[in-house]
């Protein structure tokens, strides 16, 4: 067990494919590490310590900035295939032979690409608040998402109260706790994602979401056990996309939480970590 956890883990660097990748690694070493893939406009600091530290008690946790994001060098490519290839290069540069991959939102698209491109590298896959290629409203983005990301906020962090949580009192209260938690780390925070990086991510989302024939056939080739998780009312990547993932993946379990949105893992961190831990450790 490394002594530092989420708040104190130093940002380290490793070079691969001419990119200097920033990462943090903590928790109980010795098993299959859990590699976290971040959402749109997110850095390592946008993960919830209530999630990462709870996992770190039983397994090694690896957070990283993909190419062109925050503390990592390089540029954000305009395809998820290339983001997956970059992530793979990072993982291999750490000398890892096998990982469990957790992807949240567009991190879920990266995690799918890693699994498709390097099936032997990924033992199990967790897809949270995400969707398949040509998923429902993933080409244009949802109208709610455009409104939420297009608005201005007196406190910039309040953006995430609307992205990740429902308007209910209970969900907003959980959201305010989450915002406090992800601000707890006071030193060596990641810089915010640049405008150019966000635009490239957006372009990649449009390509991923573009309508195509037999769009979901590729999911049949993902043989790993997959856990798909979402909130009941995700308005960023509609919840039905999680159902579509489950129905088209050959070996997927789906969990949908009540009165929750895109960031269900931050609303129910204890429950989420228990469900995911059961999935990662299960033998039936």
Whole-number minimum distance, CB 239 to its own copies, in Å? 8
Which of 96/254 has CB closer to its own copies?
A: 254
Q: Which of 105, 259, 266, 273 binds its own copies (CB under 8 A)?
A: 259
Say if residues 42 and 71 touch (Cβ distance below 8 Å). no
Nearest distance from C-beta of residue 157 to its own copies, angstroms: 23
Element containing residue 42 per DSSP (H, E): none
As measured in angstroms, the least distance from the Cβ of 257 to its own copies is 6
Q: Which CB atom, from 83 or from 255, has the smaller least distance to its own copies?
A: 255
The site string for its own copies over 81-120 (x = CB under 8 A, - otherwise) reads ----------------------------------------
CB of 237 to its own copies, least distance (A): 16
- Map residues 233-252 to x or -, x wherever contact with its own copies holds by CB under 8 A: ------xx--x--xx-xxxx
Residue 86 or 264: which CB sits closer to its own copies?
264
253 binds its own copies (CB under 8 A): yes
Shortest Å distance, C-beta 269 to its own copies:
8
Q: Which two tokens stand for residue 264?
A: 């269900």
Provide, rounded to whole angstroms, the least separation between the CB of residue 69 and its own copies: 31
What are the E-state strand segments in the chain? 12-16, 19-27, 34-37, 60-64, 99-104, 122-128, 226-231, 252-257
Q: Which is nearer to its own copies, 56 or 222 (CB)?
A: 222
User: Are 231 and 256 in contact, with CB atoms under 8 Å apart?
Assistant: yes
Q: Under rule CB under 8 A, which residues in 173-232 are in contact with its own copies? A: 225, 232
For residue 47, give the 3-state DSSP assignment.
coil
* Total residues binding its own copies (CB under 8 A): 26
Q: Residue 14 or 249: which CB sits closer to its own copies?
A: 249
Strand-pair category, 99-104 with 60-64: unpaired
Q: Decide: is 278 part of the binding site for its own copies (CB under 8 A).
A: yes
Among positions 87, 106, 255, 280, the unique one binding its own copies when judged by CB under 8 A = 255
> What whole-number distance in Å separates Cα of residue 95 and Cα of residue 35?
13
CA distance 193 to 106: 14
Dihedral, CA of residue 171, residue 174, residue 175 and residue 178, to nearest 10: -160
| CA pair distance 82, 157, nearest whole angstrom | 29
Whole-angstrom CA distances from 55 to 49, 97, 118, 127, 148 are 10, 20, 24, 16, 30
Nearer to its own copies, 193 or 226 (CB): 226
Q: How far apart are alpha carbons 173 and 74 in whole angstroms?
A: 38
- The crossing angle, in degrees rounded to 10, of helices 106-117 and 195-209 is 60
E strand or H helix at 225, and its extent? Answer: none
Instruction: Give the nearest distance from C-beta 66 to its own copies in angstroms.
Output: 29
Phi and psi at residue 11, to the nearest 5°: -75, 125
Taking CB under 8 A as the criterion, the residue among 81, 203, 215, 254 binding its own copies is: 254
Interface residues with its own copies (CB under 8 A)? 225, 232, 239-240, 243, 246-247, 249-259, 268, 270-271, 274-275, 278, 282, 284
């Amino acid at each position: 067990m490394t002594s530092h956890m989420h708040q104190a883990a130093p940002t380290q660097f490793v070079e691969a494919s001419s990119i200097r990748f920033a990462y943090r690694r903590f928790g109980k070493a010795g098993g299959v590490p859990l590699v976290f893939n971040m959402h749109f406009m997110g850095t390592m600091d946008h993960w919830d310590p209530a999630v990462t530290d709870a996992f770190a008690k039983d397994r090694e946790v690896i957070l990283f900035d993909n190419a062109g994001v925050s503390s990592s060098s390089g540029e954000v490519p305009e395809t998820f295939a290339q983001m997956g290839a970059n992530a793979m290069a990072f993982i291999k540069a750490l000398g890892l032979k096998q990982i469990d991959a957790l992807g949240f939102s567009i991190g879920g698209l990266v995690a799918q690409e890693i699994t498709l491109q390097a099936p032997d590298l990924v033992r199990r896959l967790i897809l949270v608040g995400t969707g398949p290629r040509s998923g429902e409203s993933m080409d244009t983005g949802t109208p709610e998402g455009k409104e939420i990301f297009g608005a201005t906020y007196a406190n910039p962090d309040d953006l995430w109260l609307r992205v990740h949580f429902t308007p209910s009192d209970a969900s907003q209260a959980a959201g305010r706790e989450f915002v406090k938690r992800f601000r707890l780390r006071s030193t060596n925070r990641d810089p915010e994602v640049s405008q150019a990086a966000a635009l490239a991510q957006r372009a990649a989302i449009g390509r991923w979401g573009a309508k195509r024939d037999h769009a979901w056939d590729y999911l049949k080739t993902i043989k790993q056990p997959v856990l798909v998780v979402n909130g009941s009312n995700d308005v960023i990547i509609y919840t039905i996309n999680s159902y579509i993932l489950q129905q088209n993946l050959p070996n997927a379990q789906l969990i949908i939480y009540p009165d929750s949105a895109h960031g269900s893992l931050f609303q129910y961190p204890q429950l989420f970590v228990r469900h995911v831990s059961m999935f990662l450790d299960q033998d039936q």
